[in-house]
Each structure stands twice: as structure tokens, then as C-alpha cells.
Amino acid sequence: MKRNLLALFALLSLAAGAQSAKKGFALIARPGQDQVDVRYNGRLLTAFCYTDSIAKPFLYPVNTLSGVTITRGFPVKPIPGESTDHPHHVGIWMNYESVNGVDFWNNSSAIPAAKKEHYGTILHQKILKQTASKNQARLQTTATWVNHAGEPFLNEATTYFFEVKGDRFYITRSSTLTALNRPVVFADVKDGFFAIRVAKELEMPSTGTQSFADNQGNVTNVAASGTNIPTGMYYASNGLKGDAVWSSQGTWALLKGKKDGAPISIGMFDHPSNTGYPTYWHARGYGLFALNPLGRSVFSKGKDSLNLTLQPGQSKKFTYRIVIAQQDLPLPEMGKMEAEFHKTRY
């Protein structure tokens, strides 16, 4: 019996190894680690992670096709010398600061127990389907948005589309949010909605400490990133660059810099089918690269507003795309990729 079990284990190990090393995409479930690895030609590009300890599903780490990691390690796997502010910024994720007054965006292990009642969690429910081919892969998941007492507000159905075209890695997330047995209000606030937290090398250089307050009145101080390691610079479809991209409105934004001696470009695209299109950019020099289509009053200084309300059973779909390239992407290329993205219906 023992010999048979050892033989079975060896066969399973060989099968897993063969799957991870095959050409093209492979999605490898690792339920013991609460994640699904996304591999291309045997190399890890990212992983869908759904441990409840992080308070939301997320993609982490995120790598270029040749293996350069573009996301911050903290709080999952801290790297010496990197920033440790905002522990709720993890990989690539989507959530919001005020859903029926409950804060999903800022929830993390850093929140004291006495304040947890103000925060919500997105609980992973199920992986519905996963498919992989040479240059494309798809992962379908479900989740539930709940308050601290466990009361559900929203059901979420998300499909991740992973694609490689030439030397570019594309991640498209299409999520349908459905209100359950009560109206759900997304208040017009600053912190949201779809985001990536990048590595220190891709932050913008800075020399002064900055302070940022969330909707609960908590203040986070972000130390200067310095001028030696950070190399990042934002560009947007509206022609703005650098810190001026924050709070501006546009259809795409691009962060360019260098890491491990290689040029890195990270582009983010809004889709015309989305509520709030074109989005406002919540792109901070300290490494938070986000878009927020719902917090319009804050970003427009009161000239625009939107308090999105979903009635029971009503749904809204949000579709966004990120491109990761180990190259210095020319700005005209963003327009070409945007046009291609806008042709697709999800």
C-alpha cells in the first residue's frame, strides 16, 4: 500500500511539473496556499490569491514575461528597504472605501479590533472555471462583499483574462457586482477602485514626507522615496504627467520606470461600457496606481458627483485592463492598445 501511494505521489508530481513547464499558459490550482498560479512557458506571471487574511482576492506577485517583479512585496513578502505604508495595498485588486458606509478599501490586519466594525471584507466563494491555451488563459471566480458582522451586501462574479501578445502581458478584469436584499450605495469618496501597488523602483522620486487621510479619519504618513532608487513617471491620455495625473480624468494612464536594470511600462485602461467613463485617476507618486470612476466630487473639487446606487437584484459590470511590458512603451502605442480594448465586449 505504501509503495502504491509513493508511486501515485511521484506520478502526480511529474504531472504537475509537466503542466508548469509546458509552452503557453497554464493555470495551476494550489488550494493549500489559497491561490491559482498563472504561468506562461513555465514561468510565474502572477497568482490569483484568495486568503481571507488579506480581506479581498488579489493578484500577486505580478511579473514581466522575463520575470521582473513589478509589485511591492509588503505586506505578503516584505523586501528590505521597500515602503511599508498602506498595508491594504496588495498586488492588483478592486474594492471601494464606502459601500453602505462600510470601508472595504482600507481594511487590513493593521486595523484595531475596536474599529473593525467600520470595515468590510470580500470573501472568495468559488472558482467556477479555468481554461488555458497557448497565448490566453481565463479564470472565473465568485465572491461576496460582507460587513464585519458577516452580513452580505454584494455578490461578485469576476472573470480574469490573461493574454500574451509579443512581449506584452495583458490582464483584463471584468467584474459584475449585484446588490442582494437591500439597496447598495457607493458613496462619492476618494479611495477606490481598481488598483496596483508597484515596487519601490517604480515609485516617483520624492524628497518630502506626505500625509494622507482616509474616510475614517486615519492619517498615513508616507516617507520620502528618495531620488536614487525610484524611477517612475506617470503619463495620461489627457496629456498630463507626473503628480498632475492624480485627480485628472482620462481613458488611460501609463507608469514608466526601470527595475533590475530593465525598462518597465505599466498601462491601465478604462472601458467605455463602464459607469463613470472616462475615469478619474487616483495615481500617487508613492506607488499606488489606481483609477476611481465613482469618487468624482473629490477629484473634480465638487464640479462633478456620483453616488452610484444599486437596487436589490440590480447589477453593474466594471471592466479594466492592465498591460505590463519590459520596454519603454511609446505613448502612441497606448492609443493603439486602447482602441483594440474598446472593440472588445465583455
* 21 falls within a domain: no
- Whole-number pLDDT of residue 221: 60
Residue 10 within a domain:
no
Task: Name residues whose C-beta falls within 8 Å of residue 276's C-beta, 6 or more positions apart in sequence.
Answer: 293, 294, 296, 306, 308
pLDDT at 1: 46
- The contacts of residue 294 (CB under 8 Å, 6+ apart) are 96, 186, 188, 189, 192, 193, 275, 276, 306, 308
Residue 35 included in any domain: no
pLDDT value of position 8: 42
Does the reported pTM lie above 0.85?
Answer: yes
Structural domain count, the chain:
1
Has residue 134 been placed in a domain? yes
State the pLDDT at residue 10. Answer: 46
Strand duo 192-197 + 210-213: pairing:
unpaired
Predicted pLDDT at 200: 96
Grid coordinates given for 112: 484595531
Residue 30 lies in a domain: no
Say if 4 falls within a structural domain.
no
pLDDT digit string (tens) for 211-266? 555 666 666 666 666 656 899 999 999 999 999 999 999 999 999 999 999 999 99
> What pLDDT is attached to residue 224?
60
CATH number at residue 133: 2.70.98
pLDDT for position 52: 87
C-alpha cell read off for 129: 472555471
Domain assignment of residue 110, given as a range? 57-343
Q: Is residue 281, in this structure, part of any structural domain at all? A: yes
Low-confidence residues in the chain, pLDDT < 50: 1-2, 4-16, 18-20
Q: What is the pLDDT of residue 228?
A: 67
pLDDT at residue 206, rounded to an integer = 78
